[in-house]
Amino acid sequence: MPIIRTVQRVSKRLYRQLSASRPDTEVERIRNVLAEVPVFETCAARTLRVMAEAMHPRTYRPGEVIYYEHDPGLGLYVVEKGQVRLCADWKDERFDMRMAGPHTLFGALSLMGDFRRMETAEAVTAVKVAGFFRPDLSSLSQRHPKAALDIQQALLRFMAQQYAALIDVIGDRDGREVALQCYADASSQVLDHAASDDS
């Protein structure tokens, strides 16, 4: 019996070494895409490799919807190839927010919490994306805590930059006082919501 266990252990170790040395082209391809995404430019190479291993490649045909506005959000998508239109309904009309092309991401907010989608994501061309979802981040937190922290810090920096830019955009359009009032109102709403959840 000990001989069988020893053979099994050696076989497993040998298999791990062989599979580790064999190039995984899909993981490497996704890692290369992540390395070109500005949001992840501060992440270590190991972080990008670990993240790429956890990601889920998907393809969509032109006109196919990746997710709808108000859907529960599960995570983010990184565009490998093609164009994705992000749009929302506003006063009975479709409002185009932006296009997401190669080496960009969308849907990042829902990776950081249980937020509903603020926009619809629709493939304009044939699209190849890689998804990274909350269960993937949770699993990484257990197995590769440094990589998970690296990813979270990169996303938090990105969201903080968006937040600051939003205040500037509102300030430029409607005046600094309006921008600061929006900031104060949003902060109060979040704090009130947190307080009601605790009670």
CATH code for the domain of 29:
2.60.120.10
Judge contact between 156 and 75, C-beta under 8 A.
no
pTM: 0.81
Report pLDDT digits (tens) over 90-133. 888 888 999 999 999 999 999 988 899 999 999 999 999 999 99
Report pLDDT digits (tens) over 30-57. 999 999 999 999 999 999 999 999 999 9
Range of the domain at 12: 2-198
pLDDT, residue 6, reads 64
pLDDT, residue 174, reads 92
33 Cβ neighbours under 8 A, 6+ residues apart: 78, 80, 102, 103, 130
pLDDT, residue 16, reads 53
| Percent of all residues in the chain with a pLDDT value above 70, rounded to a whole number | 88
Report pLDDT digits (tens) over 156-176. 999 999 989 988 999 999 998
- Domain total for the chain? 1
* C-alpha–C-alpha distance, residues 108 and 51, integer Å: 14
